[in-house]
Structure 1
Amino acid sequence: MDWTLEVVIVPVSDVDRAKAFYADQLGFVLDHDIAPADGVRIVQLTPPGSGCSIVFGRGAVPDMPPGSFKGLQLVVNDLPKAHAILTERGVAVSEIQVHGMGTWDGEADLNNVGFLHFADPDGNSWTIQQITARA
């Protein structure tokens, strides 16, 4: 039996601001933005190519402090390209880090050890890892 992770709830304080950040700046695909009842709004977005979406909103999502979610991780196959895309879109992203070595020198192989870090407007933190080959 497969057990797939398909939705992660991200706590935010401003649904419209979060939607703009994730859709416009990060480039996540907007799956839906619905208001099924008074005081209820659910926004779901999916990173390009991912089988797992994020959800946030009001009235129908667990009450968690905005910015309290830490350690969400995305995987890409080209970290320098991801860095360039996010920087171009105005995301405050860290320099590329190589696990155990510090800032990337532009030469070291990034497979499985290269990382970027950023936070959404509420402070929910994300990591991006480069994986180009898996064991």
Structure 2
Amino acid sequence: MTETAKGGIRFSEVGRIVVTVTDQDRALDFYVGTLGFDKRADIPFGDGHRWIEVGPAGAPTGISLVLPREGGRQPGYETGIILTSEDIDADHAALRARGVDTDPEVRRWGAPVPPMFGFRDVDGNVLMVVGND
């Protein structure tokens, strides 16, 4: 579509997704230390706040780890984040070996649905992993 057809809106990508956490340092350790994500930003701002952003190496979309706002979403929810795995069985086994709270097994329903499993971060936020095989 042309810019005119879009009504002048110039969105180009989904840049980042927010995940609410109770402790940013603990969450950062999990996403970087346990999941192997890159730390893309850890910037203080405002009155004692931090903007933390992580993501898989080379992935265009990042995850921002933020503290909950008053009256806002609290940690421990289905994030809607779906990560793609090149080897879902190996990644499931590796996460379980690292003590990550994963679904007991990779679910397989058959084509065209890809194999998948869920896991919870240190705050109980649920992320999904889908096989690219």
TM-score class, shorter: 0.7 to 0.9
Tell me which residue corresponds to 2:128.
127
Between the aligned partners of 2:56 and 2:123, the Cα distance in structure 1 is 19
8 Å contact 1:111–1:130 — kept in the other structure? no
Tell me which residue corresponds to 2:43.
34
Larger radius of gyration: 2
State percent identity of aligned pairs. Answer: 31
8 Å contact 2:32–2:38 — kept in the other structure? yes
Partner residue of 2:101 out of 80, 83, 92: 92
SS at match of 1:35: strand
Equivalent residue runs for 1:7-86 within 5 Å: 7-58=16-67, 63-86=72-95
1:106-129 CA-partner distances (Å, limit 9, x unpaired):
xxxx88521111011212111100
Given the two structures, how large is their TM-score scaled by the length of structure 2?
0.78
8 Å contact 2:83–2:127 — kept in the other structure? yes
List alignment gaps of at least 5 residues for structure 1: 101-109
CA 1:79–1:41 in 2, change beyond 3 Å: closer, same or farther?
same
List alignment gaps of at least 5 residues for structure 2: 2-10
Aligned-residue Cα RMSD (Å) equals 2.5
1:6-58 CA-partner distances (Å, limit 9, x unpaired):
20000111111111111111111001111123321111001233211000234
What is the count of residue pairs matched by the alignment?
Answer: 122
8 Å contact 2:82–2:130 — kept in the other structure? yes
8 Å contact 1:112–1:129 — kept in the other structure? no
8 Å contact 1:111–1:131 — kept in the other structure? no
SS at match of 1:82: helix
